Chains A and B, each alone.
Chain A
Amino acid sequence: SQTIHQWPATLVQPVGSPLSLECTVEGTSNPNLYWYRQAAGRGLQLLFYSVGIGQISSEVPQNLSASRPQDRQFILSSKKLLLSDSGFYLCAWTGSLNYGYTFGSGTRLTVV
């Protein structure tokens, strides 16, 4: 069966520090991968998606970047965090959209 792992679960980082969030998928190959951000009391906003290794598309201009160094690994990064980067970050994958996305457990990022 397919599983998705996302870590860390919580993170408190100072403004200006770097960020690296990792997401891995098991039990499938060539998945579509997504990074979403959920601000408090709001819906999910798509940040990046990837349809293959090294293929990254950005949905909104921002202080963040994404990379896919391996088929089932998706990384969200920042060189210098801003206060506005705080939020709940969710990684998701899909093979067939008949079942929608499968989400990871999320990372609560607080930038202080």
Chain B
Amino acid sequence: EDQVTQSPEALRLQEGESSSLNCSYTVSGLRGLFWYRQDPGKGPEFLFTLYSAGEEKEKERLKATLTKKESFLHITAPKPEDSATYLCAVHANAGGTSYGKLTFGQGTILTVHP
């Protein structure tokens, strides 16, 4: 069974204090790893898709990286508006078929203080 574990569960940063969120995964045949941002009471918002080890993608203060076992979401010089829950999800082969099922981690709650 596909498993996704995110750490830490919660992270508090001061504005400008860079850090990283971790997403460890165990799947049979990774087809894609996704990062989402979720604000309280809202649906998750797509950030990145990573497909293969060594791949990196950036968007403003966020950079996502991927290895064969984990992904990191690096946050550089965060601002209070970056406060949200960050979710990691994987899309994997399921017996050679796929209907687009994503398996999500529990999320990391990020709070950035001014």
Residues of A participating in the B interface, judged by any CB pair closer than 8 Å: 6, 32, 34, 41-46, 49, 51, 57, 59, 90, 92, 94, 97-106, 108
Contact of B44 among A59, A99, A103 (CB under 8 A): A103
Chain A residues near B43: list those with CB within 8 A: 6, 90, 92, 103-106
Query: What secondary structure prevails in chain B residues at the interface with A?
Result: strand
Min CB gap B47→A, angstroms: 9
Complex CA gap A101/B31 in Å reads 14
Centre residue among B46, B87, B102, B107 by max chain A CB count within 10 A:
B102
Chain B residues near A59: list those with CB within 8 A: 101
B73 within 8 A of A: no
Complex CA gap A34/B102 in Å reads 10
Contact of A106 among B41, B89, B101, B103 (CB under 8 A): B41
CB atoms of B99 and A99 under 8 A apart: no
CB atoms of A57 and B99 under 8 A apart: yes
Chain A residues near B102: list those with CB within 8 A: 44, 46, 100-101
Complex CA gap A97/B107 in Å reads 20
